[in-house]
Homo-oligomer: A and B are copies of this chain.
Amino acid sequence: MTQEQDQQPRGTRVRGTKQASALASALTSLPGFCSAQEIHAELRRRGETVGLTTVYRHLQVLSETGAVDTIRDPSGEILYRQCGSTVHHHHLTCRVCGSSVEVEGRAVEQWAEKVAAEAGFTAVDHTVELFGLCPGHSASPMEPPA
């Protein structure tokens, strides 16, 4: 359907910059969903010199190509994560630590298609996000770290 047709004129297209690899490394090591600014801070913490603009630009490209997944936290901020599978899936994310479980939703996909068809809608895309408390943070209900 949405086949990519990259017309890369010979080998001069994607430059192997150290920023790109540093970002890739950070994304791989970060366990859960993080905001662009958190990722930027993490890179700084590692001693890498990567500008915030570059972080944003790379994350945007990576998300467009499907290399990273994006979700919106309840406040609207975009969170990024490098995911294991490239097939369509959704996420169950902890509100406290950001750790995330990838969930497959055959049932959701079918439901979405069904209700869309019944309403006569076409080109329907869906957003499905699950937020909760992971097992580690479900333990003590009364423990706001503040």
Contact = CB atoms under 8 A, between A and B. Distances in A.
Contact of A121 (B94, B108, B123, B129): B94
A101 B108 CA distance: 17
Interface string A88-104: 00001011000001010
A92 to B, nearest CB: 6
User: How many A residues are at the interface, by size bracket?
Assistant: 35 or more
A72 to B, nearest CB: 6
A121 B134 contact: yes
Contact of A129 (B78, B126, B138, B141): B126
A66 interface: no
Contact of A92 (B92, B116, B128, B138): B116
